[in-house]
């Protein structure tokens, strides 16, 4: 800057710049160059990095040339369809006791009392799953935390912590239960009421609700 000022007589500094600013800028450039030399890395460290960086560039360019030289490929590749097992065979070898509800749209299990729509998305998975009523230990409650339970046209709400004991589905948190109809079981789990606490106490003593003896699904088989 000072050389330019001395060579050009018409050159003028901006109003906000002083001669001290010009001198300080020159000293800063000089110190920066000295610092860069003191922190300069040796060639045995920088050379491998530079070599591999250039190698990656050459590989990327080669791959780009190869891709551009290939012929055009079809954008939509047809997917191979996997044949499904016939629905009747799934019902035959299922561990559930399958029966038709009579309307031609739903099937159910006479043991665990669950009902599924024939055209539902999870009906095949349910047919291949184990029936909770056929567990080897039927005298103890069976957890159903990862099960999708459907009785009638309703599903057990996900907020419940359901168990099944001798055909009675119940929640150990709120104490609501279901035998043939879900009722409150289809709603969100709420605070345990006195009736819910009384049911859990009776269940711990081996006393089942009176509705557990009226199996409406078994009557559909007659």
Name the average pLDDT for the chain: 78
H or E stretch at 200:
helix 194-204
Output Rg (C-alpha) for the chain, integer angstroms.
39
Spans of all domains in the chain: 87-219
- Mean pLDDT value across residues 82-99: 82
pLDDT in tens, 194-206: 888 988 888 887 7
Give burial (CB, 10 Å; 0-12/13-18/19+) of 199: buried
* Contact in structure between 110 and 222 (CB atoms under 8 Å): no
Question: 158: helix, coil or strand?
Answer: coil
- pLDDT class of 218 with cuts at 50, 70, 90: very low
Q: In the structure, what pLDDT confidence band is assigned to residue 55 with cuts at 50, 70 and 90?
A: very high
pLDDT exceeds 90 at position 59: yes
Which pLDDT band holds residue 80 (cuts at 50, 70, 90)?
confident
Q: What is the pTM of this model?
A: 0.39
Question: Considering only CA atoms, which of 97, 124, 120 is closest in space to residue 108?
Answer: 97
> How confident is the model at residue 166, as a pLDDT?
78
Q: What are the pLDDT digits (tens) for 103-118?
A: 778 888 887 778 888 8
Residues of the chain above pLDDT 90, percent: 8
Model pLDDT, residue 60 = 95
């Amino acid at each position: 800057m000072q050389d330019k000022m001395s060579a050009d007589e018409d050159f003028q500094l901006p109003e906000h710049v002083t001669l001290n600013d010009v001198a300080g800028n020159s000293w800063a450039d000089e110190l920066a160059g000295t610092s860069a030399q003191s922190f300069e890395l040796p060639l045995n460290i920088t050379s491998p990095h530079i070599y591999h960086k250039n190698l990656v560039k050459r590989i990327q360019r080669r791959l780009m040339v190869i891709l551009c030289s290939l012929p055009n490929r079809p954008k939509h590749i047809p997917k191979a369809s996997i044949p499904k097992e016939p629905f009747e065979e799934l019902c035959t070898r299922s561990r559930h006791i399958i029966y038709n509800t009579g309307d031609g749209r739903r099937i159910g299990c006479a043991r665990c009392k669950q009902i599924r729509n024939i055209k539902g998305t999870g009906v095949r998975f349910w047919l291949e799953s184990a029936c909770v009523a056929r567990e080897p230990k039927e005298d103890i409650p069976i957890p159903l935390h990862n099960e999708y339970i459907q009785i009638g046209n309703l599903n057990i709400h996900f907020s419940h912590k359901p168990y099944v004991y001798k055909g009675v589905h119940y929640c150990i948190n709120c104490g609501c239960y279901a035998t043939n109809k879900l009722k409150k079981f289809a709603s969100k789990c709420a605070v345990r009421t006195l009736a819910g606490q009384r049911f859990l106490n009776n269940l711990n003593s081996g006393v089942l609700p009176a509705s557990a003896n009226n199996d409406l699904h078994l009557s559909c088989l007659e």
